[in-house]
Amino acid sequence: MKRRRPVASAAKARSPARADKLALGQLHKHLGYFLRRLQIWVFQDFIQTLGKMKVRPAQYSVLLIIEANPGRSQAAIGQTLGIERARLARLLHELERRKWINRRASGSDARSHCLHLTADGEKALVRIKSVATQHEARLADYVGAKRHMQLMDLLRDFG
Amino acid sequence: MKRRRPVASAAKARSPARADKLALGQLHKHLGYFLRRLQIWVFQDFIQTLGKMKVRPAQYSVLLIIEANPGRSQAAIGQTLGIERARLARLLHELERRKWINRRASGSDARSHCLHLTADGEKALVRIKSVATQHEARLADYVGAKRHMQLMDLLRDFG
């Protein structure tokens, strides 16, 4: 099996060759441990890939959800992504500061806001998605194309 | 599919019913997103389950590795688990403070230390493993026993 490392060498220490490893003992029975290890690889690669644009994974997720569901509320987005209210508020504030999104007061409820991408946000997201696609290809290469597809099938119900 | 929630209701907001959810858009193509969502469920359930014993997932992993590999160095453990040196040092310090592990100077290198469980550590780990087994059963119930096994098979190479 290929043991490709994330894009930058900073992540080196987290992807040791199997030969250097100790026995996992009972850890070998815990799915959460293996989920976490692969997820760390993914985040490292993703953060390094999108670091140039100063976009974090959670920001990217929120931009995609707003793109796919223009005009929806902060609450609906938070519920979809499982992001807590205070954290999402900070995240949206940052995206607004960069002029990538705007909030318009909802007609039905003055306290609620509809979220939209701005023209700048749409332009930025085109570039971000293109880099994210490269990241996904690296991940598919790391785990193998077939396993990538199988994992997707098995995990999609939980997102 | 079952949409069981983690053990305590604090995690409720992170496991919304699918019906409440917005379209995922291009997020639907990112394996990392789905890994992360399931991993969050796992950590929440695990942290709630082991919270009574004040044991965090990383501490549990380290205890299991020391149990399975008595007398090995901090460096070998860090490399196996992909934990950075400074973070592992803090974690081991905490386990030592609780008298669950001890470090004996290595014969070959005075700066290096061999890690062992103490008798107290062994006793605590028996209890912790029993609770962790209940957590794993809940996870298997959440994703389904077959999927649990399939995911294990697909992910084990990356731990």
Name beta bridge partners: A104. A114
pLDDT of A9 higher than 80: no
Q: Which whole number is the average pLDDT over B58-64? A: 96
Q: Which residues of B touch A151 (CB under 8 A)?
A: 31, 34-35, 151, 154-155
- Please compute the mean of the pLDDT values over residues A74-82 and round it to a whole number: 94
Q: How confident is the model at residue A71 (pLDDT cuts 50, 70, 90)?
A: very high
The more confidently predicted of residues A159 and A138 is: A138
Distance CA A123, CA B113 (A): 54
What residues of B are in contact with residue A155 (Cβ under 8 Å)?
31, 34-35, 37-38, 151
Going by C-alpha positions, the residue among A16, A10, A17 that lies closest to residue A45 is A10
Give the distance from CA B46 to its chain's centroid: 8
**What is the token pair recorded at B159?**
């731990």
DSSP, collapsed to helix, strand or coil, labels residue A114 as: strand
Whether A7 shows a pLDDT value over 70: the answer reads no
pTM, 2 dp: 0.83
Interface predicted TM-score (ipTM):
0.85
As a whole number, the mean pLDDT across chain B is 87
Closest CA to A50 of A63, A36, A65: A63
Mean pLDDT, residues B110-139: 92
CA dihedral B27, A31, A45, A156 (to 10 degrees): -10
Dump strand ranges (E) for A29-110.
72-73, 101-105
CA distances from A133 to A52, A128, A157 (A): 15, 9, 22
User: pLDDT at residue A100 above 70?
Assistant: yes
CB within 8 Å: A35 and B84: no
Check residue A72 and give its pLDDT: 94
At B105, the pLDDT band (50, 70, 90 cuts) reads confident
Where are the alpha helices (H) located in B2-156, listed in sequence order? 31-50, 57-68, 74-81, 85-97, 119-143, 145-155
Q: Which of A1, A34, A72, A135 to mutate to test the interface with B (most CBs of B within 10 A)?
A: A34
Amino acid A104: pLDDT: 83
Q: How far apart are CA A101 and CA A78, in angstroms?
A: 16
What integer pLDDT is reported at residue B156 of this predicted model? 94
The predicted model gives A28-50 an average pLDDT of 94
Of A53-57, A116-120, B2-6, where does the model show the most confidence? Answer: A116-120
- In degrees and rounded to multiples of 5, residue B69 shows phi and psi of -140, 65
Q: Do A68 and B22 touch (CB under 8 A)?
A: yes
The answer to whether A38 touches B155, Cβ cutoff 8 Å, is: yes
| DSSP H or E run through A153 | helix A145-155
Rounded Cα gap, residues B43 and B73, in angstroms? 27
- Are B123 and B129 within 8 A, CB to CB? no
pLDDT tens-digit readout, B69-83: 999 999 999 999 999
Contact B39 A39 (CB under 8 A): yes
d(CA A126, CA A150): 27
- Chain A: residue nearest B134 by CA? A30
pLDDT surpassing 90 at residue B11: no
* Tokens 């994330």 found at: A6
Higher per-residue pLDDT: A10 or A20: A20
Model confidence at B158: pLDDT above 80: yes
Query: How would you classify the pairing of strands B72-73 and B101-105?
Result: unpaired
Chain B residues lying within 8 Å of A143, measured CB to CB: 31, 154, 158
Cβ pair A36:B16 closer than 8 A: no
